[in-house]
Amino acid sequence: MAMEPLRILLLYAFGTLTEAKGRVESFNEVYSLAKPVTLGLAFGCVGMTSDKDREEILRLHNEYRANLTKGVTIVKEDGTKEKVLPAAKNMYELEWDCDLEAKAEDAMNMTCKHAARRRYKNYGHTRGKWQVCIKFNKPVEEYGVPGVLGYWWQEGLLFDNVNRRHNEFAAENFVNMASGRNTKIGCAVKKQGQRADVYCLYDLPLREEAIVYEAGNGCKTDADCTTYKNSKCKPSGLCHGVPEPGYKEKSEALETSCLSEKETGMTKEIRNYLLDIHNKFRSSVARGLEPDMLGTFTPKAKKMVKLGYDCYLEKVALRTASACPPVRTDQKVFFWNIHKVSNSKMSNMDAAKEAMITWINEIRHYGIGPQNIFNQFHYWRDSDPYYALYVPTQDYAYMVVEGNDRLGCVIKDCEGEKYVHCFLGFRRTEVMGKKPYEEGMPCTKSSDCTGNVTCFAEEALCSAP
């Protein structure tokens, strides 16, 4: 925004923007502007990013996306690893968006990346840097932007190439580059010395466990492009189209709306109950009031976050727990708690209550000890007859991971049995061999929490960042 007065001055002096384009070079000569490209006249954007970098970022993104319509093999730089990715259909060509660029520049300049993601939560984010290795003497102007994008694309080595879902946080940059529905991009580039920083925003956010792109082949005719109305097929195999008005809002509303009781076994009352008891328990742990069978009481928690109910996560739970009988597998982006109800004929509300009592009693009746570290002993002890008096405390540990900020549950009938499944997240850290939360005095004011959030002092909980 700092360049806006200068842009106005140019328009005032030279007339139209077109006339200004023809005279900007002489203007720069007179006033010795250090970086005339910040005006972004060719793209029509105003900011610190040059047209050269804009063109390069846009071209490379669309080249990567076009290659994906044919199927690609991503090879690690040192050649030690490779992954074949299935070909994509309905992959859309990206166009540059000056508004997204301005937002990306603002996000880049924020000191807290979580604050940037919260401010621009309705967009996809990629962020990275490239720094010159003096040994190879590669100039940042030539290699900086391609280097950053190359690193992002290499994250595809971690991508789920079977289900094509966003289920690995370490591949987040790749999945935003490869998200088929995206049609717009805007990036900020900052070059200082031998370092280049790049921050990009995309028009559509990609939720965890969402499908990144459809499997198929690149388009050959307009009829192959079906995501947006009146889309056209480009020779590259990419589709070109514009989301219809309200598309983004409708998609977000669909993602965040809860499913019916028939599908999920959940009612508003059950959702509220599960959320309330989870938060009351987290509050009790945070204040050091929960008895630990192997110690005295749970240590106090310094920055325990208050959960919110997430209908999207409920849908993830429904899909993940669809097997009958259910088999709990480690999820990469969420924690999964499961309880088999003692009497399948009990109501779903009673099933939810029994599940909560069972999970909470893991610490009260079996414990993890004063060191407050969840380890292999706590995980495996149910399978060892020597520890027959104990049960695992995995569900407890997942319930009190301090950074969890959302909850989604389903109750499913299966072969005459009833199961309660609750997902918590995000799983940005593992609990095995670690403390599920940082110990210390609970928050009493908002500055005690991480980020620009609120402290609920009576509950000893922080709002989500």
If one compares 206 and 219, the residue with the highest pLDDT of the two is 219
User: Lowest-pLDDT range, 125-129, 137-141, 227-231?
Assistant: 137-141
The type of residue at 386 is: Y
Residue 133: per-residue pLDDT:
64
Q: Residue 194: which pLDDT band, with cuts at 50, 70 and 90?
A: confident
Contact 341, 417 (CB under 8 A): yes
If one compares 330 and 141, the residue with the highest pLDDT of the two is 141
The string of DSSP letters for 29-50 reads HHHT-S-GGGG-TTTT--SSS-
Residue 105: per-residue pLDDT:
97
CATH architecture of 259-462: 3-Layer(aba) Sandwich (3.40)
Would you say residue 22 has pLDDT above 50? no
Residue 388 burial (10 A CB sphere; 0-12, 13-18, 19+): exposed
Q: Residue 29: which pLDDT band, with cuts at 50, 70 and 90?
A: very low
Contact 153, 177 (CB under 8 A): yes
Contact 432, 374 (CB under 8 A): yes
Residue 454: per-residue pLDDT:
94
Written as six digits, the tokens of 353 are 């209550």
Q: What is the mean pLDDT of residues 24-41?
A: 34
Name residue 422's beta-bridge partners. Answer: 337, 409
CA distances from 434 to 229, 293, 379 (A): 50, 19, 13
For the chain, the distance separating the N- and C-terminal CA atoms, rounded to the nearest angstrom, is 26
Cβ density class 213-227: b for 16+ within 10 Å, e for less: bbbeebbeeeebbeb
Would you say residue 376 has pLDDT above 60? no
Mean pLDDT, the chain, rounded, equals 85
Residue 69: per-residue pLDDT:
96
HSE (CB half, 13 Å, CA atoms) of 128? 21
CA distances from 35 to 6, 40, 109 (A): 13, 10, 19
Residue 26: per-residue pLDDT:
33
Residue 11: per-residue pLDDT:
33
Element spanning 193, H or E: none
Q: What is the mean pLDDT of residues 300-324?
A: 93
Domain range list for the chain? 1-34, 48-255, 259-462
> CA-to-CA distance for 204 and 184, rounded, in angstroms?
8
Residue 134: per-residue pLDDT:
55
pLDDT digits (tens, 9 = 90+) for 428-449: 777 777 889 999 999 999 999 9
Q: Residue 391: which pLDDT band, with cuts at 50, 70 and 90?
A: low
Residue 177: per-residue pLDDT:
97
pLDDT digits (tens, 9 = 90+) for 143-183: 889 999 999 999 999 998 888 988 888 899 999 999 999 99
User: Do the domains 48-255 and 259-462 sit in the same CATH topology, yes or no?
Assistant: yes
3-state secondary structure of 243: coil
Q: What is the mean pLDDT of residues 35-54?
A: 73
Would you say residue 281 has pLDDT above 80? yes
How many CB atoms are located within 10 Å of the residue 426 CB?
Answer: 17
If one compares 442 and 366, the residue with the highest pLDDT of the two is 442
Residue 383: per-residue pLDDT:
45
Dihedral sign (CA 210, 215, 218, 221): negative
Written as six digits, the tokens of 102 are 């301005």
Q: What is the mean pLDDT of residues 395-416?
A: 94
> CA-to-CA distance for 54 and 72, rounded, in angstroms?
25
Residue 16: per-residue pLDDT:
38
If one compares 394 and 61, the residue with the highest pLDDT of the two is 61
Contact 112, 193 (CB under 8 A): no
Residue 349: per-residue pLDDT:
98
Would you say residue 384 has pLDDT above 60? no
pLDDT digits (tens, 9 = 90+) for 55-98: 999 999 999 999 999 998 888 877 788 899 999 999 999 999 99
pLDDT digits (tens, 9 = 90+) for 241-271: 999 988 888 887 877 789 999 999 999 999 9
pLDDT digits (tens, 9 = 90+) for 101-138: 999 999 999 877 778 888 999 999 999 998 876 556 66
Domain 48-255 has CATH 3.40.33.10: yes
CA distances from 95 to 44, 142, 183, 346 (A): 13, 23, 6, 55
Residue 143: per-residue pLDDT:
83
Contact 176, 169 (CB under 8 A): no
Which CB contacts under 8 angstroms, 24+ apart, belong to 283-292? 283/459, 283/460, 283/461, 285/363, 285/400, 285/437, 286/437, 286/442, 286/459, 286/460, 286/461, 287/442, 287/460, 290/363, 290/364, 291/363, 291/364, 292/363, 292/364, 292/367, 292/368, 292/369, 292/370
Cβ density class 273-303: b for 16+ within 10 Å, e for less: bbbebbbebbbbbbbbebebbeeeebbbbbb
Which of 160-164, 204-208, 343-347, 449-453 is predicted most confidently? 343-347
Query: Checking DSSP bridges between strand 195-202 and strand 124-131, what pairing results, if any?
Result: antiparallel
> CA-to-CA distance for 35 and 32, rounded, in angstroms?
9
**Whole-model pTM?**
0.75
Would you say residue 235 has pLDDT above 70? yes
